[in-house]
Structure 1
Amino acid sequence: MNLLIKRQHTGQPLVQLPTGALEYVGFSAYRLQAGETLPVQAGQQELCLVLLSGLANVSGEAPGHGAFNWEAIGDRQSVFEDKSPFAVYLPPASQAQVQALNDVHIAVCAAPGASEAGLGPRLIAPQGMKRSVRGKGANTRYVCDILPDTEPAHSLLVVEVRTPSGHSSSYPPHKHDTDDLPHQSFLEETYYHQVNPPQGFVFQRVYTDDRSLDQAMAVENGDLVVVPKGYHPVSVPYGYESYYLNVMAGPKRVWHFHNDPQHSWLMDL
């Protein structure tokens, strides 16, 4: 399987994870112009709509929880602004419509849901998201937890990361592909990449210990990288800034990772 999914340059959908590519994670991203709408149906999945940039109304209905309507949500015009996004959580069987009030960039993150969990739709406001700095030196990056395992959901985890020029991210290389808690959890993952300025590129490698999976990719603005298993570091060339939106899900909703032992010495620097 080719783990790099290239962005589409025409039409409303920018990139979509093919159906069946992963067992637990679903993902798609869209660009809407002012006045355009995007219908969203959760089906048997739970969803997290992340308003990456722009201003939008989100309305709809969730069975058992009634109608919802959030108007004029959105507070940034680029993912590279030093601001957290607005997001919306939707439980299974929800139906919603996103109406763009200006140019809107939105991600639809999906994972298996459970109606019996009783979770209702909710607005996830920027001020409720934890922001942190991870790493040090040329390994420094800036993290925003949109839907972490400390917040209610059945299986979905969503986080965004900005990585400065010339830095590495998801580094030292780590993996979370083995159900061996508390040491490591099994979580599939996708990386939705943005690059500033947009003509740039970053590098990402996905590999396993035995190298049965080993793909190194030049990733451009708007591309999606699929991580079914293995380590998955990112490197950002000088002069360009990296953003990626991570979606993770698996049989247990907890993030415990394992560093590549060949590179774990970097933690002591």
Structure 2
Amino acid sequence: MTSTDLHLTKGSTASAQYAIDIDPKRAGWTHSSLRIVELLPGGSHMFTTGDSEWIVLPLSGGCTVHMEDEEFHILGRDSVFASVSDFVYAPRDTRVQIASGAGGRFALAGAKCERRLPARYGPAPEVPVEQRGSGASAREVRNFASADAFECDKLIAVEVITPGGNWSSYPPHKHDEHRPGEESELEEIYYFEIEGPNGFGYQRVFPSREGGSDVLAEVRSGDAVLVPDGWHGPSIAQPGHAMYYLNVMAGPGATREWRICFHPAHVESAGGYR
């Protein structure tokens, strides 16, 4: 893919229903999806999950999620920089309605799957929060739907807050091969928001094989970067402007796991994964 194919600027994937609408066909792959729906006060949105499982994650605001004969109330948050959020898991082959009295913005993180798991609510206090790295590579990782924290069939999703001026996703790493016990094959979406007006950051993806993905993108709020293959990192936040990104991953492996390989040229200088 070209850098234009990988760096999706704000509005470039908008559809009639979504501010961002990345499905496997648009991404040129098989498994991972991301949608952002924006609701006015009193607004609602309905969709069918089809052959994918989805997580409804508030970026700002709260909502009520209706599925068949179940109803879940999500308290949400003021912004992605304010706090961890609660969320709801929607199984495949389900009709979902999201309604918000005050309005808000909601991420729908999806992955094609095989099993139909039960609908569930994920409370914010149960989200594992990890302070990873130190110094200029310190950041906060919110493992709300990591492979170890919350059961899904294929979907893996986490949030990362990188303080202004810091690096994250470092050293560069990859997960584009199936190597049992060492590396899992996962397609990945990075969705970005930058704190404060005029903020920006940078995202690097470079080839792990001949002809592989290669992009250095200046990212702003509402942008996304696709990682179908290749080494990715660092993610760099502008000084004075914290960077948020939502990672959505899924792949063909029989086991849902996040196993990564670090770039050998950078591991020693980085002092390990930060």
Specify if TM > 0.5.
Answer: yes
Q: 1:3 corresponds to which residue?
A: 6
Q: 2:81 corresponds to which residue?
A: 80
- Per-residue CA deviations over 1:238-258 (Å, capped at 9, x if unaligned) read 121100111010123100111
Match of 2:231, SS?
A: coil
The code of the aligned residue for 1:142 comes to E
Q: What is the distance in 2 between the residues matched to 1:177 and 1:268?
A: 23
- What aligned pairs does 1:47-66 form with structure 2 within 5 A after superposition? 47-61=54-68
- Per-residue CA deviations over 1:104-150 (Å, capped at 9, x if unaligned) read 11011111122xx4511011111111001111110001011111212
Question: Does 2:180 align with 1:181?
Answer: yes
Q: What is the distance in 2 between the residues matched to 1:186 and 1:260?
A: 16
* 5+ residue gaps, structure 2: none
- Report the aligned-residue RMSD: 1.7
Report the Cα offset of residue 160 of structure 1: 0.3
Q: 2:132 corresponds to which residue?
A: 134
C-alpha contact 1:178 1:186 (8 A) present in aligned 2: yes
Q: What is the distance in 1 between the residues matched to 2:17 and 2:242?
A: 25
Q: TM-score, normalised by structure 2?
A: 0.90
Q: What is the distance in 2 between the residues matched to 1:113 and 1:209?
A: 27
- Per-residue CA deviations over 1:171-199 (Å, capped at 9, x if unaligned) read 11111111002111111100110001142
Report the Cα offset of residue 19 of structure 1: 4.3
Q: What is the distance in 2 between the residues matched to 1:198 and 1:8?
A: 18
The code of the aligned residue for 2:269 comes to L
Query: Which one of 21, 33, 36 corresponds to residue 16 of structure 1?
Result: 21
Q: 1:251 corresponds to which residue?
A: 252
The code of the aligned residue for 1:137 comes to G
C-alpha contact 1:198 1:221 (8 A) present in aligned 2: no
Q: What is the distance in 2 between the residues matched to 1:163 and 1:30?
A: 24
Q: What is the distance in 1 between the residues matched to 2:231 and 2:241?
A: 23
Match of 2:181, SS?
A: coil
Q: 1:152 corresponds to which residue?
A: 151
- Per-residue CA deviations over 1:56-115 (Å, capped at 9, x if unaligned) read 111122xxxxx11013x224101001x21121111111111101121311011111122x
Match of 2:268, SS?
A: helix
Match of 2:125, SS?
A: helix
Question: Does 2:70 align with 1:68?
Answer: yes
Q: What is the distance in 2 between the residues matched to 1:131 and 1:268?
A: 22
Cα gap change, 1:19 to 1:259, in 2 (>3 Å): closer
- What aligned pairs does 1:142-221 form with structure 2 within 5 A after superposition? 142-150=140-148, 151-210=150-209, 212=211, 213-221=213-221
C-alpha contact 1:6 1:15 (8 A) present in aligned 2: no
C-alpha contact 1:53 1:74 (8 A) present in aligned 2: no
Q: What is the distance in 2 between the residues matched to 1:112 and 1:131?
A: 26
